[in-house]
Amino acid sequence: MAEKVVIIGSGPAAHTAAIYTARAEFKPVLFEGFMAGGIAAGGQLTTTTEVENFPGFPEGISGPDLCDRFRAQSQRFDVTIHTETITKLDLSSRPFKYWSDERSGEADTIILATGATAKRLDIPGAGEGPGEFWQRGVSACAVCDGALPMFRNQPLAVIGGGDSAMEEASFLTKFASKVYLLARRDELRASKIMVQRVLANPKIEMLYSHECTAALGTDGLERIRVKNLKDGKERELDCMGLFFAIGHVPNTGFLDGQIKTDAQGYVVTTPGSTVTSVPGVFAAGDVQDKKYRQAITAAGSGCMAAIDAEHFIAAQG
């Protein structure tokens, strides 16, 4: 027998959809993945040390702890959770078919909440593990982490040349003493208005034709080594925070082109809804949102997907 609702994902969008559909007595099945996209269940939140902008936690909460709470709430409503990665879907007819490495099954509706993975550069010192500073000064989300006390009134750096990099550099000036913006080329590919805003900000120092070659420090990030790509000279800059702003990769490869996506791979949904190009398939969270990419907006779209799925099931009788 086909499941009423199958949810693919493990972050705030997935668990909000699970909680709503469970309370509607659809007995949802959630596949949280096993290191899907190289990230633990919970997605991007698991790489965030302190979350201070999710309502209900005035003292703040760590990203992994928040993910654990999402999961516990789903379990409270008897959501079936499989720690397995969905590797294949057949959306050519209903019920839809799905496969993981451990099982296969059918679903009347599917909610895609697989998120998007932030791109990171392979810079010595910027990775994870001993002697590395990922989440100890190195981040891929200035909006998520930039307001943390460790970054206030400190020199920070952003890597990127697009609109996201301009937005993140501008955002960080609210807290930083100075922001270095590193771009590999001698021009920026961001929109003119964004570039003008950055160039007019006295707190931002543009480093054209530069790349970061190392992240340095002891207990946390303290300096970065940068290289001038035109003359090859290197120097070190005091820097307590390094932020990658070089884009995201939506986790849609397993869809194998069965659902309409944009040029970057994000699932296209009908404006004001989570409806995709395939009736009965809905998309929520960062897999379809390349603008906001926040835990709270993902949770909101997870609620929308659950209600959209409920209406679809009701219409099907």
**What is the Cα–Cα distance from 89 to 110, expressed in whole angstroms?**
10
**What is the Cα–Cα distance from 224 to 138, expressed in whole angstroms?**
11
User: E strands of the chain, at which residues?
Assistant: 3-9, 29-31, 80-82, 86-90, 96-100, 104-113, 116-118, 138-139, 155-159, 178-182, 204-207, 210-217, 221-228, 234-238, 241-244, 248-250, 281-283
How does DSSP assign 13-25, residue by residue? HHHHHHHHHHHTT
Q: Which two tokens stand for residue 268?
A: 């296209």
Give 3-state DSSP helix, strand, coil % of the chain, rounded to 5.
25, 30, 45
Show which residues are catalytic: 141, 144-145
